[in-house]
Amino acid sequence: MSMIGLNDIKNARNRIVGHIISTPLVCSPTLSDICGVAVGLKLEHYQTTGSFKLRGATNAILELTEAERAHGVVAASTGNHGRALSHAVRAVGSRATICMSRLVPENKVSEVRRLGADVRIIGNSQDDAQKEVERLVAENGFVMLPPFDHPAIVAGQGTIGLEIVEAMPDVNTVLVPLSGGGLAAGVAAAVKSMRSHAKVIGLTMERGAAMKASLDAGEPVLVEEFPSLADSLGGGIGLDNKVTFPMCRALLDDVVLLSESEIAAGIRHAYVREREILEGAGAVGIAALIANKISGLRGPVALVLSGRNIDMAVHRRVVNATGNPPA
Protein backbone atom coordinates (compact mmCIF):
# COMPACT_ATOMS: atom_id res chain seq x y z
CA MET A 1 0.00 0.00 0.00
CA SER A 2 1.28 3.48 -0.90
CA MET A 3 0.32 5.63 2.08
CA ILE A 4 0.85 9.37 2.01
CA GLY A 5 1.98 10.73 5.38
CA LEU A 6 2.11 14.07 7.16
CA ASN A 7 5.62 14.86 5.94
CA ASP A 8 4.56 14.32 2.31
CA ILE A 9 1.67 16.73 2.82
CA LYS A 10 3.84 19.35 4.55
CA ASN A 11 6.34 19.13 1.71
CA ALA A 12 3.51 19.59 -0.76
CA ARG A 13 2.39 22.73 1.06
CA ASN A 14 5.90 24.18 0.88
CA ARG A 15 5.97 23.38 -2.84
CA ILE A 16 2.63 24.91 -3.82
CA VAL A 17 2.63 27.98 -1.57
CA GLY A 18 2.26 31.02 -3.77
CA HIS A 19 0.54 28.98 -6.48
CA ILE A 20 -2.74 28.31 -4.64
CA ILE A 21 -4.97 30.11 -2.16
CA SER A 22 -4.94 29.12 1.50
CA THR A 23 -8.72 29.22 1.74
CA PRO A 24 -10.71 30.47 4.75
CA LEU A 25 -12.54 28.25 7.23
CA VAL A 26 -15.58 30.26 8.28
CA CYS A 27 -18.33 29.62 10.81
CA SER A 28 -21.81 28.85 9.47
CA PRO A 29 -24.35 30.17 12.03
CA THR A 30 -27.25 28.57 10.12
CA LEU A 31 -25.73 25.08 9.99
CA SER A 32 -24.50 25.41 13.57
CA ASP A 33 -28.06 26.15 14.64
CA ILE A 34 -29.46 23.25 12.62
CA CYS A 35 -26.92 20.75 13.97
CA GLY A 36 -26.57 22.04 17.52
CA VAL A 37 -22.76 22.04 17.21
CA ALA A 38 -20.24 24.45 15.71
CA VAL A 39 -19.94 24.01 11.93
CA GLY A 40 -17.19 25.55 9.82
CA LEU A 41 -17.08 25.78 6.04
CA LYS A 42 -13.73 25.27 4.27
CA LEU A 43 -14.17 27.55 1.26
CA GLU A 44 -12.15 25.54 -1.22
CA HIS A 45 -14.40 26.63 -4.08
CA TYR A 46 -12.59 29.98 -3.85
CA GLN A 47 -9.50 28.48 -5.55
CA THR A 48 -8.49 30.16 -8.83
CA THR A 49 -9.92 27.36 -10.97
CA GLY A 50 -13.05 27.01 -8.86
CA SER A 51 -12.16 23.80 -7.03
CA PHE A 52 -9.70 22.11 -4.67
CA LYS A 53 -8.14 20.25 -7.62
CA LEU A 54 -5.62 23.03 -8.18
CA ARG A 55 -3.65 21.90 -5.12
CA GLY A 56 -2.93 18.37 -6.27
CA ALA A 57 -2.45 19.33 -9.91
CA THR A 58 0.04 22.05 -9.00
CA ASN A 59 1.97 19.78 -6.66
CA ALA A 60 2.20 17.08 -9.31
CA ILE A 61 3.33 19.48 -12.04
CA LEU A 62 5.98 21.06 -9.81
CA GLU A 63 7.37 17.61 -8.98
CA LEU A 64 7.99 16.80 -12.65
CA THR A 65 11.42 17.15 -14.20
CA GLU A 66 12.01 19.63 -17.02
CA ALA A 67 12.20 16.70 -19.45
CA GLU A 68 8.83 15.35 -18.27
CA ARG A 69 7.21 18.77 -18.61
CA ALA A 70 8.61 19.04 -22.12
CA HIS A 71 6.82 15.81 -23.10
CA GLY A 72 3.48 17.18 -21.91
CA VAL A 73 0.95 15.68 -19.53
CA VAL A 74 -2.30 13.79 -20.07
CA ALA A 75 -5.18 12.96 -17.75
CA ALA A 76 -8.73 11.72 -17.60
CA SER A 77 -11.10 14.09 -15.85
CA THR A 78 -14.71 14.77 -14.95
CA GLY A 79 -13.85 18.45 -15.45
CA ASN A 80 -12.24 20.04 -12.42
CA HIS A 81 -8.95 18.12 -12.52
CA GLY A 82 -8.61 18.91 -16.20
CA ARG A 83 -9.21 22.58 -15.53
CA ALA A 84 -6.68 22.62 -12.69
CA LEU A 85 -4.06 20.74 -14.68
CA SER A 86 -4.53 23.01 -17.69
CA HIS A 87 -3.99 26.04 -15.46
CA ALA A 88 -0.96 24.53 -13.74
CA VAL A 89 0.87 23.55 -16.94
CA ARG A 90 0.54 27.06 -18.35
CA ALA A 91 2.50 28.39 -15.37
CA VAL A 92 5.50 26.16 -16.18
CA GLY A 93 5.36 26.29 -19.97
CA SER A 94 4.14 22.74 -20.46
CA ARG A 95 1.01 21.48 -22.21
CA ALA A 96 -1.89 19.22 -21.29
CA THR A 97 -4.19 16.81 -23.06
CA ILE A 98 -7.43 16.17 -21.16
CA CYS A 99 -9.67 13.18 -21.91
CA MET A 100 -13.29 13.42 -20.78
CA SER A 101 -16.43 11.40 -21.32
CA ARG A 102 -19.67 12.66 -22.84
CA LEU A 103 -21.12 12.94 -19.30
CA VAL A 104 -18.89 15.90 -18.46
CA PRO A 105 -20.97 19.13 -18.56
CA GLU A 106 -20.18 21.44 -21.47
CA ASN A 107 -19.34 24.39 -19.20
CA LYS A 108 -16.45 22.37 -17.76
CA VAL A 109 -15.29 21.15 -21.16
CA SER A 110 -15.27 24.68 -22.60
CA GLU A 111 -13.27 26.04 -19.67
CA VAL A 112 -10.58 23.38 -20.13
CA ARG A 113 -10.39 24.35 -23.81
CA ARG A 114 -10.18 28.04 -22.90
CA LEU A 115 -7.11 27.31 -20.81
CA GLY A 116 -5.36 25.90 -23.87
CA ALA A 117 -5.55 22.15 -23.32
CA ASP A 118 -6.10 19.62 -26.09
CA VAL A 119 -9.49 18.14 -25.23
CA ARG A 120 -10.55 14.61 -26.23
CA ILE A 121 -14.19 13.56 -25.66
CA ILE A 122 -14.24 9.77 -25.41
CA GLY A 123 -17.05 7.36 -24.51
CA ASN A 124 -19.64 7.50 -21.74
CA SER A 125 -17.52 6.98 -18.65
CA GLN A 126 -14.29 8.06 -17.05
CA ASP A 127 -13.04 4.51 -17.58
CA ASP A 128 -13.49 5.07 -21.34
CA ALA A 129 -11.58 8.34 -21.09
CA GLN A 130 -8.81 6.59 -19.15
CA LYS A 131 -8.32 4.09 -21.98
CA GLU A 132 -7.63 7.00 -24.31
CA VAL A 133 -5.14 8.39 -21.78
CA GLU A 134 -3.27 5.10 -21.75
CA ARG A 135 -3.20 5.02 -25.55
CA LEU A 136 -1.73 8.54 -25.69
CA VAL A 137 0.91 7.67 -23.10
CA ALA A 138 1.97 4.63 -25.13
CA GLU A 139 1.95 6.39 -28.50
CA ASN A 140 3.17 9.89 -27.65
CA GLY A 141 5.18 9.53 -24.45
CA PHE A 142 2.99 11.91 -22.46
CA VAL A 143 3.28 11.89 -18.66
CA MET A 144 0.06 10.63 -17.07
CA LEU A 145 -1.18 12.63 -14.09
CA PRO A 146 -4.41 10.96 -12.95
CA PRO A 147 -7.09 12.90 -11.07
CA PHE A 148 -6.64 11.05 -7.77
CA ASP A 149 -4.60 7.83 -7.67
CA HIS A 150 -1.18 9.48 -7.55
CA PRO A 151 0.98 10.29 -4.49
CA ALA A 152 1.64 13.91 -5.48
CA ILE A 153 -2.07 14.51 -6.15
CA VAL A 154 -3.09 13.07 -2.78
CA ALA A 155 -0.39 15.02 -0.94
CA GLY A 156 -1.50 18.24 -2.58
CA GLN A 157 -5.13 17.70 -1.62
CA GLY A 158 -3.99 16.81 1.89
CA THR A 159 -2.87 20.40 2.44
CA ILE A 160 -6.55 21.20 2.97
CA GLY A 161 -6.48 18.96 6.04
CA LEU A 162 -3.50 20.85 7.45
CA GLU A 163 -5.36 24.12 7.07
CA ILE A 164 -8.52 22.72 8.68
CA VAL A 165 -6.72 21.57 11.83
CA GLU A 166 -4.74 24.80 12.08
CA ALA A 167 -7.93 26.86 11.81
CA MET A 168 -10.03 24.53 14.02
CA PRO A 169 -7.61 22.71 16.38
CA ASP A 170 -10.41 20.97 18.29
CA VAL A 171 -12.19 19.64 15.18
CA ASN A 172 -13.98 16.36 15.84
CA THR A 173 -15.68 15.65 12.49
CA VAL A 174 -14.56 16.42 8.95
CA LEU A 175 -16.96 15.93 6.04
CA VAL A 176 -15.30 15.45 2.65
CA PRO A 177 -16.73 14.84 -0.84
CA LEU A 178 -15.72 11.38 -2.05
CA SER A 179 -15.15 10.26 -5.63
CA GLY A 180 -11.84 8.62 -6.57
CA GLY A 181 -10.59 9.41 -3.09
CA GLY A 182 -7.74 11.85 -3.69
CA LEU A 183 -9.35 14.57 -1.59
CA ALA A 184 -10.71 12.25 1.09
CA ALA A 185 -7.48 10.28 1.43
CA GLY A 186 -5.29 13.37 1.61
CA VAL A 187 -7.51 15.22 4.07
CA ALA A 188 -7.92 12.14 6.27
CA ALA A 189 -4.16 11.53 6.33
CA ALA A 190 -3.47 15.08 7.45
CA VAL A 191 -6.32 15.35 9.95
CA LYS A 192 -5.74 12.00 11.62
CA SER A 193 -1.98 12.61 11.86
CA MET A 194 -2.65 15.79 13.83
CA ARG A 195 -5.91 14.90 15.59
CA SER A 196 -6.17 11.14 15.80
CA HIS A 197 -9.63 11.02 17.39
CA ALA A 198 -11.32 13.12 14.71
CA LYS A 199 -13.71 11.32 12.37
CA VAL A 200 -13.38 11.82 8.62
CA ILE A 201 -16.51 10.92 6.66
CA GLY A 202 -16.76 10.64 2.89
CA LEU A 203 -19.88 11.88 1.12
CA THR A 204 -21.05 10.87 -2.33
CA MET A 205 -24.13 10.34 -4.49
CA GLU A 206 -26.31 7.24 -4.31
CA ARG A 207 -25.90 6.04 -7.91
CA GLY A 208 -22.51 5.19 -9.41
CA ALA A 209 -20.51 5.67 -6.20
CA ALA A 210 -17.39 3.74 -7.20
CA MET A 211 -15.34 4.14 -4.02
CA LYS A 212 -18.28 3.13 -1.81
CA ALA A 213 -18.95 0.05 -3.95
CA SER A 214 -15.26 -0.84 -3.89
CA LEU A 215 -14.96 -0.43 -0.13
CA ASP A 216 -18.02 -2.65 0.33
CA ALA A 217 -16.53 -5.27 -2.01
CA GLY A 218 -13.10 -5.14 -0.37
CA GLU A 219 -11.42 -4.38 -3.70
CA PRO A 220 -11.73 -1.92 -6.58
CA VAL A 221 -14.77 -2.68 -8.74
CA LEU A 222 -16.35 -1.23 -11.85
CA VAL A 223 -19.61 0.68 -11.57
CA GLU A 224 -21.98 2.08 -14.15
CA GLU A 225 -21.92 5.86 -14.35
CA PHE A 226 -25.12 7.92 -14.23
CA PRO A 227 -25.84 11.61 -14.71
CA SER A 228 -25.88 13.41 -11.36
CA LEU A 229 -26.00 16.90 -9.91
CA ALA A 230 -22.74 15.82 -8.28
CA ASP A 231 -21.14 15.12 -11.67
CA SER A 232 -17.63 15.70 -10.27
CA LEU A 233 -18.08 12.63 -8.05
CA GLY A 234 -18.67 10.30 -11.00
CA GLY A 235 -16.20 7.87 -12.52
CA GLY A 236 -14.43 4.71 -11.47
CA ILE A 237 -11.46 4.43 -9.12
CA GLY A 238 -9.43 2.16 -11.40
CA LEU A 239 -9.16 -1.59 -10.93
CA ASP A 240 -5.42 -1.27 -10.29
CA ASN A 241 -5.86 1.53 -7.74
CA LYS A 242 -2.72 1.66 -5.61
CA VAL A 243 -3.05 4.78 -3.46
CA THR A 244 -6.51 6.09 -2.72
CA PHE A 245 -8.44 2.84 -2.24
CA PRO A 246 -6.13 1.48 0.49
CA MET A 247 -5.93 4.92 2.12
CA CYS A 248 -9.71 5.40 2.14
CA ARG A 249 -10.17 1.87 3.49
CA ALA A 250 -7.70 2.57 6.29
CA LEU A 251 -8.62 6.15 7.16
CA LEU A 252 -12.29 6.91 6.46
CA ASP A 253 -14.66 6.35 9.37
CA ASP A 254 -17.79 6.16 7.21
CA VAL A 255 -19.20 6.84 3.75
CA VAL A 256 -22.61 8.49 3.46
CA LEU A 257 -24.73 8.34 0.29
CA LEU A 258 -26.98 11.21 -0.79
CA SER A 259 -29.96 11.26 -3.13
CA GLU A 260 -30.26 13.75 -5.97
CA SER A 261 -32.98 15.64 -4.08
CA GLU A 262 -30.73 15.87 -1.01
CA ILE A 263 -27.85 17.19 -3.12
CA ALA A 264 -30.20 19.75 -4.67
CA ALA A 265 -31.26 20.87 -1.20
CA GLY A 266 -27.60 21.32 -0.33
CA ILE A 267 -27.06 23.54 -3.37
CA ARG A 268 -30.13 25.61 -2.45
CA HIS A 269 -29.11 25.98 1.18
CA ALA A 270 -25.61 27.06 0.15
CA TYR A 271 -27.05 29.80 -2.05
CA VAL A 272 -29.97 31.02 0.04
CA ARG A 273 -28.49 30.70 3.54
CA GLU A 274 -24.72 30.79 3.06
CA ARG A 275 -24.62 33.08 0.00
CA GLU A 276 -22.33 30.62 -1.79
CA ILE A 277 -22.62 29.17 -5.30
CA LEU A 278 -21.65 25.49 -5.26
CA GLU A 279 -21.73 22.62 -7.70
CA GLY A 280 -23.39 19.43 -6.50
CA ALA A 281 -20.15 17.79 -5.38
CA GLY A 282 -19.26 20.89 -3.39
CA ALA A 283 -22.61 20.89 -1.60
CA VAL A 284 -22.69 17.28 -0.33
CA GLY A 285 -21.42 18.22 3.14
CA ILE A 286 -24.19 20.76 3.58
CA ALA A 287 -26.66 18.25 2.10
CA ALA A 288 -25.67 15.59 4.62
CA LEU A 289 -26.08 17.94 7.57
CA ILE A 290 -29.46 19.40 6.64
CA ALA A 291 -30.77 15.89 5.84
CA ASN A 292 -29.48 14.65 9.24
CA LYS A 293 -27.50 11.87 7.54
CA ILE A 294 -24.50 11.91 9.92
CA SER A 295 -25.18 9.64 12.88
CA GLY A 296 -23.69 10.58 16.27
CA LEU A 297 -22.44 13.92 14.97
CA ARG A 298 -19.75 15.41 17.20
CA GLY A 299 -18.67 19.01 16.90
CA PRO A 300 -16.87 21.08 16.02
CA VAL A 301 -17.48 20.05 12.42
CA ALA A 302 -15.54 21.15 9.34
CA LEU A 303 -16.87 20.48 5.87
CA VAL A 304 -15.09 21.01 2.58
CA LEU A 305 -16.94 23.05 -0.04
CA SER A 306 -14.93 21.53 -2.84
CA GLY A 307 -16.04 23.36 -5.99
CA ARG A 308 -18.25 25.96 -7.64
CA ASN A 309 -18.05 24.99 -11.32
CA ILE A 310 -21.73 24.37 -11.91
CA ASP A 311 -23.54 25.30 -15.11
CA MET A 312 -25.38 28.44 -14.00
CA ALA A 313 -28.54 27.51 -15.91
CA VAL A 314 -28.61 24.27 -13.89
CA HIS A 315 -27.93 26.24 -10.72
CA ARG A 316 -30.87 28.55 -11.37
CA ARG A 317 -33.19 25.60 -11.98
CA VAL A 318 -32.09 23.90 -8.77
CA VAL A 319 -32.32 27.03 -6.64
CA ASN A 320 -35.76 27.93 -7.98
CA ALA A 321 -37.19 24.40 -7.98
CA THR A 322 -38.73 24.02 -4.54
CA GLY A 323 -38.27 27.27 -2.67
CA ASN A 324 -36.03 27.80 0.30
CA PRO A 325 -34.14 25.04 2.07
CA PRO A 326 -34.88 24.41 5.74
CA ALA A 327 -33.71 27.17 8.06
Buried b (16+ CB within 10 A) or exposed e, 169-206: eebbbbbbbbbbbbbbbbbbbbbbbbbeebbbbbbbbe
CB-based contact 192:198 (threshold 8 Å): yes
> Catalytic residue among 125, 214, 232, 306, which?
306
Supply φ then ψ for residue 218, to 5 degrees. 85, 5
Establish whether 101 is a catalytic residue: no
In sequence order, which ranges of the chain are alpha helices (DSSP H)? 6-16, 29-35, 53-63, 66-71, 80-92, 106-114, 126-140, 151-167, 182-194, 210-217, 244-251, 260-272, 284-290, 312-321
> Catalytic residue among 28, 42, 51, 53, which?
53
Establish whether 306 is a catalytic residue: yes
- Give the separation between CA 160 and CA 181, rounded to whole angstroms: 14
CB-based contact 4:189 (threshold 8 Å): yes
Question: What is the rounded radius of gyration, in angstroms, for the C-alpha atoms of the chain?
Answer: 18
Return the SS3 of 20. strand
**CB neighbours of 262 closer than 8 A, spacing ≥ 6?**
287, 288, 291, 293
255: which DSSP letter? Answer: E
- Residue 218 φ/ψ region, left for φ over 0, alpha for ψ in the -120 to 50 degree band, beta for the rest: left
Indicate which residues carry an active-site annotation.
53, 306
